[in-house]
A and B are shown apart, each in its own frame.
Chain A
């Protein structure tokens, strides 16, 4: 079983749609959680951290369920510019603050 699992997609949605991505992780000792965005052939960039209480940044809402080891990202009113791959990332407890990446979910927002 992969340490971090995501649906690879692609999710093809019309502009203005609401889309939800899910992610599960297997290491119960995982400490911190993030969503990164990666555009085609570019480096990943931090989109937002995920907190236990849930957090929102504009059109983006992230939630964490530690009991189920489940992380989600909700994008409301999707824009063409949201088209990218969204990576679920988990910080593994231990030296070096090593991140474990999911394979990513591809989003394509269409007119």
Chain B
């Protein structure tokens, strides 16, 4: 089945550790996005990539890093520099640039920093 997968579903991390969240899509989508969602807040854009080997900072990129070495994959690393990393992280993908195409979301990863 085509779709977006994120792993793990739940992740616990000790303070001071880096952790990488996985996002894979087999929809042949060009663009991929990472958002975080906190209680009572809307989704906020962390990073996005419109094409392989290229990515742009979103509104809250500090403390995060990404890579886009393959079209299907857009992993997000939450570094120890991110002050409040506990959140629900959502990955999304979209077909292409021309016109508007729906963003499809993965099931998300809940990260808790202990």
Contact = CB atoms under 8 A, between A and B. Distances in A.
Nearest to A96: B48
A103 B42 contact: yes
Contacts of A45: 105
Contacts of A99: 43, 45, 103
A9 B30 CA distance: 36
A60 to B, nearest CB: 16
Interface stretch (B12-20, B77-85, B94-102): B94-102
A44 interface: yes
- Bin the interface of chain B by size: 20 to 34
Contacts of A43: 90, 105-108
Interface in B63-94: 88, 90, 94
Main secondary structure on A side of the interface with B: loop
Contacts of B100: 31-32, 91, 97
Interface of B: 31, 33, 35, 40-45, 48, 50, 56, 58, 88, 90, 94, 97, 100-103, 105-108, 110
